[in-house]
């Protein structure tokens, strides 16, 4: 499983027409196999997403295990990189091999399926989880009244870790605020935090503030938005947001493959409103002790590059990366590049990360 199957074979150094013929035949066969594998992967993911709404209450806060990696500083990386498996000896010397992938608003653990596969091939240990009311978690969206409610599956996961074990947190979009909340709550459980075009807010900011330039101020949005859902009745405050499919495609998936867009449009759920309207309380004693890295997406229509630059400028991370040609969902539009960056970040030694001024 994964894009690693598409790696090209080494050149046949013997030359000759016969060797070129065999090489061409082998390459065509390999590409065909890789395409078939990817097609099967898409079908399975889509079928799982369509089926998720029929699942019973016994599926409570699912988590999927897999594998991940590391690096730092501002760089532009091509999407042609291939993912090699890290040597066992190297894996043993990593500070941690475990990566927890935190999805953004409306998404679920399902959105990380490519990243999970690629990280697993590298020998790391990724976990993708569903936040409350997301993915196949059956919690009623209208009952989520706080960031604490929304983040509970991640906090429970961190609480369950052995005292001497740390993880790397990776948050996408509004999942960045959930990561920040976790850093404030359990800083000693987190080795590094990675914000993928995410809400890396300051103390006292709301996650929604990050999107205000694109979606208007919170007050104006709550007064005029046609996307608000009043799950507890029109006489009560709105409980969630739901964009229509056309807007989801335009805002989130302007560079993503059609199959992944199809997967997302049948899988995304309403966005609970309370967590993104809540101000975060972040301290230097807790949140400030964890090394942070930010990944910018340069063709992002929901979180513009200007906004991403401002986030980094106002709340400087230890390192920053840029992904060219990526929309708001690099796990779909640029999975290989995202994987390469994550692997680099995993490999940054503790002393180097602490001395990294970028």
User: Is 51 annotated as catalytic?
Assistant: no
Nearest-10 crossing angle of helices 113-121, 335-347: 50
End-to-end Cα distance, the chain:
35
- For residues 51 and 57, what is the distance between their CA atoms, to the nearest angstrom? 14
Q: Would you state the torsion angle of the CA atoms of residues 150, 154, 158, 161, taken in this order, to the nearest 10 degrees? A: 140
Asked if 124 and 346 count as a contact pair (C-beta separation under 8 A), the reply is yes
DSSP sequence for 195-224? EES---PPTT--GGGGGHHHH--HHHHHHH
For the sheet with 291-297, list strands across it: 63-65, 125-129, 98-102, 167-172, 190-196, 291-297, 319-323
CB atoms under 10 Å from CB of 295, counted, come to 25
Q: What is the largest CA-CA distance in the chain?
A: 79
The DSSP letter of residue 279 is P
Q: Which of 130, 137, 300, 327 is catalytic?
A: 300
Helix, strand, or coil here: 221? helix
- Cβ(49)–Cβ(110) below 8 Å: yes
Out of 42, 172, 318, 328, pick the active-site residue. 328
Query: Which residues, listed in sequence order, are joined to residue 167 by a DSSP beta bridge?
Result: 190
**Selected catalytic residue, list 69, 173, 240, 326:** 173
Rounded to an integer, what is the distance from CA 86 to the centroid of its chain? 22
Taking alpha carbons only, the member of 327, 321, 324, 326 closest to residue 344 is 321
Angle at 155 between CA 197 and CA 109, to 5 degrees: 50
Contacts of 66 (CB under 8 A, 6+ apart): 116, 117, 119, 120, 124, 125, 126, 127, 128
Residue-wise burial string across 26-50, b where 16 or more C-beta atoms lie within 10 A, e elsewhere: eeeeeeeebeebbeebbeebbeebe
Q: Give yes or no for a contact between 169 and 100, defined as CB atoms under 8 angstroms apart.
A: yes
- Check if 173 is active-site: yes
Is 164 part of the annotated catalytic residue set?
no
Please give the positions annotated as active site: 173, 300, 328
């Amino acid at each position: 499983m994964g894009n690693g199957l598409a790696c090209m074979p080494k050149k046949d150094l013997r030359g000759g027409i016969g060797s070129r013929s065999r090489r061409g035949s082998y390459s065509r066969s390999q590409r065909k196999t890789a395409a078939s594998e990817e097609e099967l992967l898409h079908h399975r993911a889509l079928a799982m997403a369509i089926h998720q709404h029929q699942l019973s209450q016994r599926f409570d806060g699912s988590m999927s295990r897999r594998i991940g990696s590391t690096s730092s500083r501002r760089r532009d990386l091509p999407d042609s990189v291939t993912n090699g498996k890290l040597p066992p000896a190297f894996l043993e010397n990593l500070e941690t091999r475990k990566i927890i992938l935190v999805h953004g608003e409306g998404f679920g653990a399902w959105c990380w399926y490519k990243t999970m596969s690629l990280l697993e091939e590298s020998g790391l240990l990724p976990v993708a989880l569903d936040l409350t009311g997301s993915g196949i978690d059956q919690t009623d969206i209208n009952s989520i009244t706080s960031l604490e409610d929304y983040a509970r599956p991640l906090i429970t996961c961190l609480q369950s870790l052995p005292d001497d074990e740390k993880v790397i947190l990776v948050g996408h979009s509004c999942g960045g605020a959930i990561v920040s909340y976790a850093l404030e709550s359990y800083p000693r459980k987190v080795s590094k935090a990675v914000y993928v075009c995410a809400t890396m807010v300051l103390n006292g900011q709301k996650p929604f503030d990050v999107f205000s330039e694109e979606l208007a101020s919170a007050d104006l949005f709550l007064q005029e938005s046609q996307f608000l859902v009043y799950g507890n009745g029109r006489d009560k405050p709105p409980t969630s947001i739901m964009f229509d499919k056309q807007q989801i495609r335009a805002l989130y998936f302007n560079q993503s493959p059609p199959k992944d867009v199809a997967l997302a449009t049948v899988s995304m759920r309403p966005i609970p409103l309370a967590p993104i309207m809540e101000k975060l309380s972040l301290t230097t004693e807790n949140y400030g002790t964890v090394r942070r890295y930010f990944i910018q997406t340069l063709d992002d229509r929901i979180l513009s590059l200007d906004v991403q630059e401002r986030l980094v400028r106002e709340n400087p991370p230890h390192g920053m990366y840029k992904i060219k040609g990526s929309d708001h969902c690099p796990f779909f539009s640029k999975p290989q590049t995202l994987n390469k960056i994550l692997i680099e970040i995993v490999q940054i030694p503790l002393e180097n990360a602490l001395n990294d001024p970028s």
